[in-house]
Amino acid sequence: MTASFHLNRLTASAAAEWNSADGDQVLDVALWFDRCGRPQRNVRLRYHHGELIARTALPAAAPPLPLAVIPPLVNAHTHLEFSSLPEPLQPSCPFTEWIGAVIRCRRNIPDPADAVAAGLKECSDAGVLGVGEITTSDAGHSALSAVSAGTVVSFRELTGFLPDRIDAQMTILQNHIRACRQTESQDRPCLPGISPHAPYSVHPELFRAAVSACEHHQVPLAVHLAETREERELLECGTGPFRSFLESLDLWHPRVLKPGTRIRSWLQELRRLRHALAIHCNYLEQDEIAFLGRHPQIAAVYCPRTHAFFGHAPHPWQKILAGGGTVILATDGRSSNPDLNLWKEVRFLAARAPSMSVETLLPMVTVRAADALGLSLHPAAATLIAIPHDSPEALLSAAAFPIGTLISRSKRMTLSLNGRSLSS
Ligand SMILES: [Zn+2]
């Protein structure tokens, strides 16, 4: 058997040597976290043919690299087409005006494929190996297939509030699933997903048809839900800013929404699916939180910095968790967030909810997020977080940041560093 190869410096040249050397690959690290977010200190990881074959205590004389190895980061919800924006769109309030800014911005993006490629690179540089992306064009979808590092679930967005849009949107859905399935490959998979946009932009029949199609094809579905109080008002009463907004676009029809409709009835449709994402869930009633508790396969996607950008009321994520529901974190797009660094969402939340443990927070951006998307990532794949000291609390400190990823490829573990220095 050839000699094992230790990585003992975290430089690009040392990583390249480690990636290509013969024999077992060995990594000595200060912290290793399991799928449940439980830490182990001073660990030697030994890889053979791209599999983790041993995890042992580090000999006292061997200094570990100042790293935490965590399960792969997964950013379950973003809109990569906005990745070239230098800052979020304004105004953030009222919400319907922000939606108007999004529509105008989308029309003016010079090359959506370039923006999507830039967004994927930004995710990858932030240590992310799984992405749930809202795709709105064929050009954006092609960029995902060509550039993807890690795994992307491409949720094709459906919009159509009026009934005459339903057939065309369902054709888009069928074509998207077919196109993704034709180009799926082990190396750079781009998996299909569907995203009927939101209750104020999707006819209820289109929503139900999309859920049925996702159930039939076994693909995940993501829908923006309970994002604002005004959305609830539109559903329940057919009044408010969203009605005016739809009227201004000549899209309002009084018989599309049955009076008294609740978010609960949209959530209930999702229970037919194995993988469903209810994006935002900023304004849920108690019975809807209880419903999520009984259906943990429906993940509430909380985007902390986007939530703060809009100045929403406090998010019920802790109540959802306490009720047995699933909450995962995501960045959303650069149209409402300054960047796509998922780790900053963790740090943002950790700073505001200091009583929350690593065991609670870490799965919300790793294994639970992967499960919500239906991703099965390689068990040895990992994200590397640079840490300022070796106690488990260091992971959530302001000085910790993602520095690279580890993936199994061609019977080797490939370490990719994002170029940030350990001292930055
Ligand atoms: Zn979104």
CA of 114 relative to ligand 1 center, distance in Å: 19
CA of 332 relative to ligand 1 center, distance in Å: 5
Q: Which superfamily, per CATH, for 73-373?
A: Metal-dependent hydrolases (3.20.20.140)
d(CA 216, CA 207): 14
CA of 279 relative to ligand 1 center, distance in Å: 7
Backbone angles phi, psi at 192, to 5 degrees: -80, 145
Q: Provide the residue ranges of all domains of the chain, joining segments of one domain with +.
A: 5-71+378-417, 73-373
CA of 79 relative to ligand 1 center, distance in Å: 6
CA of 220 relative to ligand 1 center, distance in Å: 15
d(CA 411, CA 245): 54
CA of 81 relative to ligand 1 center, distance in Å: 11
CA of 175 relative to ligand 1 center, distance in Å: 22
Please count the residues of the chain.
424
CATH number for the region 5-71+378-417 comes to 2.30.40
CA of 331 relative to ligand 1 center, distance in Å: 9
CA of 226 relative to ligand 1 center, distance in Å: 12
CA of 343 relative to ligand 1 center, distance in Å: 18
CA of 257 relative to ligand 1 center, distance in Å: 22
CA of 88 relative to ligand 1 center, distance in Å: 13
Per-residue pLDDT of the chain (424 residues; tens, 9 = 90+): 568 999 989 899 999 999 998 899 999 999 999 999 999 999 999 999 999 999 999 998 889 999 999 999 999 999 999 999 999 999 999 999 999 999 999 998 888 899 999 999 999 999 999 999 999 999 899 888 765 568 999 999 999 999 999 999 999 999 999 999 887 665 668 899 999 999 999 999 999 999 999 999 999 999 999 999 999 999 999 999 999 999 999 999 999 999 999 999 999 999 999 999 999 999 999 999 999 999 999 999 999 999 999 999 999 999 999 999 999 999 999 999 999 999 999 999 999 999 999 999 999 999 999 999 999 999 999 999 999 988 888 999 999 999 999 999 889 999 999 877 664 3
